[in-house]
Structure 1
Amino acid sequence: MKEPLWTRDFIIVFIFNFFIMLAMFLLMVTISGYAIDEFGISTSNAGLAAGIFIVGSLIGRILTGHQLALMGARKIMYIGTIMFIITYGLYFFAGNFWMLLIVRFLNGFANGVATTAVGTIAALALPHARRGEGIGYFSLSFVMATAIGPYLAFTLLDYVDYQMLFLIVFIVVLVASVFTIYIKTDNETIDLTREPKPRFQFLDKEALPVATTILIICLAHSTIFSFIALFAEERGLGAAASYFFLINAVMMLLTRPFTGRLMDLKGANIIVYPALVVYFFAYLVLGNATTGWMLLLAGALIGLGYGNFQSIIQALCIKLAERKNVGLATSTFFICLDFGLGIGSYIFGQLVPFIGYGGLYNSMTLIVLAGAVMYFMVYGRKEKYLTI
């Protein structure tokens, strides 16, 4: 008889993660416009208001991974949740652009702390034999927030001002925080009365080789978030672009639970290699898109390819780690993911003046190939000899 996935703690962290991700996206897509309207800054500086959140999140993850083994994931989650509530409240008091940047950084830091702890608890609440399937389901909380958050944010701004949007986000976070009181799952912690305090670690050595593959793939994926709207506008595909991320999310929602279960039964390779092939062709379609249906097809292929690759690599990092290091492995995965997303668009954005957006997306096929080679070297060629 199968051990259940949807336990009380798993359901709670699923709901909580959805709401904190929803809050993040409600502001991620609107904060640049707010900064321009409120403080009269340039577009490039407004982009900094959005991007510095990722920097804060990355630092939060780096510091959290080590502390999970010392304090426990549940305690870290409570700390991160309190920080979330405080930092979302600080948006009301950011009276100038520099204060806004500080608030965004602290808000991102809180996000890194809370989501790393919540991801750890979600993994520990799952039966080991079904973690691939369970992580696939858990990651849907993020996918749903990705699909709903941007649409809801722009819809709300048709009826309310930014201050009211901040209030709505604050209430969402406050309500979601109530759920955490009922979580019981926690990770193993080190007994400092019996063992020496371990040296500081922010990366898990077992998970890191596999996590580097998500870093490489996210270098490419960052160009989707940063340039897809500009690319669509350049090619006169603005109407179709409004549905791009919706189609992307639907493909993830439809396939992730099944691919996670298949990983548990047959291993990661059976999903990863096809996903990377699909992702490779997604960039070819996108780079050469001249019609709305081609743009939406690319969105569907990206959801099918990147969406399943990302969740399988997350599950694999957790499965490869020792149980006591599940939190550190979760942190390692997200550090690599955030780092790739954070620097990719800056690096590859330098190519746009020379090869254009279409050329940029076509060139991302080379990055996908590099990610496939890395995966083969660090894990794929050895999978049949490993027991996970």
Structure 2
Amino acid sequence: MEKINLWTKNFIALVCSNALLFGGFHILLPTLPLYAAANGATGAEIGIITGVFGFSAIFIRLFTDLGVSTVGKKNCLYLGLGISVFCTIGYALFNSVNEMIALRVLHGFGFGLTTTFSAVIAADIIPASRRGEGIGYFGLGSTAAMALAPAAGVLLITDYGFVPMFLIAALASGLAILGTKLCTVPKFVPDEKKSVVNISLLDKLFEKGTGIPALLTMLFGISYGSINTFIAMLAHEAQIPNAGYFFIVGTLCVFISRPIGGRIFDSKGAAWIILPGAVLLFAALLVLIQTTTLTMLLSAAVLYGLGGGFLLPALMTWMLNLVRPSRRSGASATFYNMLDVGTSAGAIGLGAIAGDVGFINMYKYSAGAMVLFLILFILQWLLKPKKQAVVEVEENMD
């Protein structure tokens, strides 16, 4: 059988647009707290400035269905990117604490729209038979941004100051708009089987039929987010130098694992990639608990990169495959909502625990989240095997 082409003009344009979007966002991750502190924000205020972003992203995703039916997926993506450009420039112009909080709320709206609709458009244009592989490649751009953009942001403010850094971040989001313009999106077909009247808040937060993968995504976010957030603190506590190499090694392993994992998902099914991915991430956490040298830290980075590279696109693809094409925007919103809930709540809760037991011992609790992940995944797979077959959906793309 002839293999359907994945690397179309539309797919390449969307991959580049997604990479630029995350590049503009991740430049701000390490630099915005520094900017807020330089403008007189206290530690508590910096926490609010940083944390309110995720909650506003979750809030705006409650209205993705309204956005699709009103203006369409591509226009929603344009709106999110436009908000991101405006807010990134706005940080340079409005630097009081209240102004930055307001901008972060608005920026969260933009990020919630862009992440949701970029992913769902990708799912629409990727051939169904290669969706797992395609989602894996789709995420590589954001993975590269996560590795390179934070370092670039720190370098920019060190050599040139905050304003040039904000302009570069805004330029990245602006170029993402151009990439989106080059992508042709399949026409939206309303789903007559699902009424849009009287949809409950619960249905807006969690797309029907995605309960188990949504819960697993939250547990994954707790453990995965704890590594991204606190690894530098662990290295400092263990007196390990050059901890930045952790992310370089981890990112390389993500690049290796994502294409492989996508092909396995498409050919074998979700269990063949989610189960080993969870075991690898759990092993990474166990190594971190015992880490005393840079070699051990980098060994954990390998396991972290391979496990996360397997799990993140697999959980998203599984969730997207469980719904009809017209419901993929809801499934995509659910995925990012649960990921944001896991990473945000995990960072707050695990940070509080670390204050009592230290950052090294904190990872025992993070590992506990992956133990629960494995138990739930194995139980649902054994008890409901028929539910896990990929839903054969009509290819009447939205």
Q: Same fold (TM over 0.5)?
A: yes
Shift in alpha-carbon separation, 1:342–1:292, aligned structure 2, 3 A: same
Give the corresponding residue for 2:198.
199
What is the alpha-carbon distance in structure 2 between the residues aligned to residue 386 and residue 370 of structure 1? 19
Partner SS state of residue 186, structure 1: coil
Give the corresponding residue for 1:11.
12
Give the corresponding residue for 2:266.
264
In the alignment, residue 34 of structure 2 is paired with which amino acid?
Answer: G
Give the corresponding residue for 1:183.
183
Give the corresponding residue for 2:337.
335
Give the corresponding residue for 1:55.
55
Whether contact under 8 Å (1:57, 1:108) holds in the other structure is: yes
Offset at residue 47 of structure 1 (A): 2.9
In the alignment, residue 166 of structure 2 is paired with which amino acid?
Answer: F
Deviates more, 1:226-235 or 1:20-29: 226-235
Give the corresponding residue for 2:121.
121
In the alignment, residue 216 of structure 1 is paired with which amino acid?
Answer: L
In the alignment, residue 154 of structure 1 is paired with which amino acid?
Answer: V
The answer as to 2:92 corresponding to 1:92 is yes
Whether contact under 8 Å (2:156, 2:162) holds in the other structure is: no
Offset at residue 134 of structure 1 (A): 0.6
Matches within 5 A, 1:3-152: 3-37=4-38, 39-69=39-69, 71-152=71-152
Offset at residue 261 of structure 1 (A): 0.6
What is the alpha-carbon distance in structure 2 between the residues aligned to residue 7 and residue 367 of structure 1? 39
In the alignment, residue 332 of structure 2 is paired with which amino acid?
Answer: T
The answer as to 2:383 corresponding to 1:376 is no
Shift in alpha-carbon separation, 1:44–1:288, aligned structure 2, 3 A: farther
Deviations 1:188-213 (A, max 9, x none): 34389x99644344221122321110
Give the corresponding residue for 2:310.
308
Offset at residue 225 of structure 1 (A): 2.5
What is the alpha-carbon distance in structure 1 between the residues aligned to residue 68 and residue 376 of structure 2? 29
Give the corresponding residue for 1:238.
241
What is the alpha-carbon distance in structure 2 between the residues aligned to residue 83 and residue 322 of structure 1? 29
Give the corresponding residue for 1:163.
163
Whether contact under 8 Å (2:134, 2:262) holds in the other structure is: yes
Whether contact under 8 Å (1:121, 1:187) holds in the other structure is: no
Offset at residue 333 of structure 1 (A): 0.7
Give the corresponding residue for 2:393.
none
Partner SS state of residue 158, structure 1: helix
Deviations 1:22-61 (A, max 9, x none): 0000011110011111x22223322332222222222222
Give the corresponding residue for 1:321.
323
Give the corresponding residue for 2:394.
none
In the alignment, residue 21 of structure 2 is paired with which amino acid?
Answer: I
In the alignment, residue 162 of structure 1 is paired with which amino acid?
Answer: F
Offset at residue 218 of structure 1 (A): 1.1
The answer as to 2:285 corresponding to 1:283 is yes
What is the alpha-carbon distance in structure 2 between the residues aligned to residue 331 and residue 349 of structure 1? 26
Whether contact under 8 Å (2:255, 2:309) holds in the other structure is: no
Offset at residue 340 of structure 1 (A): 0.5
Deviates more, 1:216-225 or 1:282-291: 216-225
Deviations 1:344-375 (A, max 9, x none): 11112222233221111123222101011222
Offset at residue 120 of structure 1 (A): 0.6
Whether contact under 8 Å (2:350, 2:366) holds in the other structure is: no
What is the alpha-carbon distance in structure 1 between the residues aligned to residue 372 and residue 52 of structure 2? 28
Shift in alpha-carbon separation, 1:50–1:238, aligned structure 2, 3 A: farther
Deviations 1:222-269 (A, max 9, x none): 222322111111111131x11111111110101110111111001111
Whether contact under 8 Å (1:21, 1:142) holds in the other structure is: yes
Offset at residue 381 of structure 1 (A): 4.8
Q: Which runs of 5+ in 1 are unaligned?
A: none
Give the corresponding residue for 1:209.
212
Deviates more, 1:2-11 or 1:59-68: 59-68
Partner SS state of residue 351, structure 1: helix
Structure 1 stretches of at least 4 aligned residues deviating more than 6 Å after TM superposition: none
Give aligned-pair identity as a percent: 27
What is the alpha-carbon distance in structure 2 between the residues aligned to residue 126 and residue 185 of structure 1? 11
Aligned residues: 385
Offset at residue 69 of structure 1 (A): 4.8
Offset at residue 383 of structure 1 (A): 4.0
Whether contact under 8 Å (1:210, 1:378) holds in the other structure is: no
Whether contact under 8 Å (1:26, 1:153) holds in the other structure is: yes
In the alignment, residue 288 of structure 1 is paired with which amino acid?
Answer: Q
The answer as to 2:225 corresponding to 1:222 is yes
The answer as to 2:6 corresponding to 1:2 is no
What is the alpha-carbon distance in structure 2 between the residues aligned to residue 198 and residue 140 of structure 1? 38
In the alignment, residue 344 of structure 1 is paired with which amino acid?
Answer: G
Please give the root-mean-square deviation of Cα atoms over the aligned residues, in Å.
Answer: 2.0
Shift in alpha-carbon separation, 1:250–1:384, aligned structure 2, 3 A: farther
In the alignment, residue 255 of structure 1 is paired with which amino acid?
Answer: S
Q: TM-score, normalised by structure 1?
A: 0.93
In the alignment, residue 223 of structure 1 is paired with which amino acid?
Answer: S
Give the corresponding residue for 1:292.
294
Give the corresponding residue for 2:257.
255
What is the alpha-carbon distance in structure 2 between the residues aligned to residue 380 and residue 135 of structure 1? 26
Deviations 1:160-182 (A, max 9, x none): 11011111112222222122222
In the alignment, residue 339 of structure 2 is paired with which amino acid?
Answer: L
In the alignment, residue 199 of structure 1 is paired with which amino acid?
Answer: N
Partner SS state of residue 350, structure 2: helix
Whether contact under 8 Å (2:258, 2:310) holds in the other structure is: yes
In the alignment, residue 261 of structure 1 is paired with which amino acid?
Answer: R
Give the corresponding residue for 2:275.
273
What is the alpha-carbon distance in structure 2 between the residues aligned to residue 75 and residue 199 of structure 1? 25
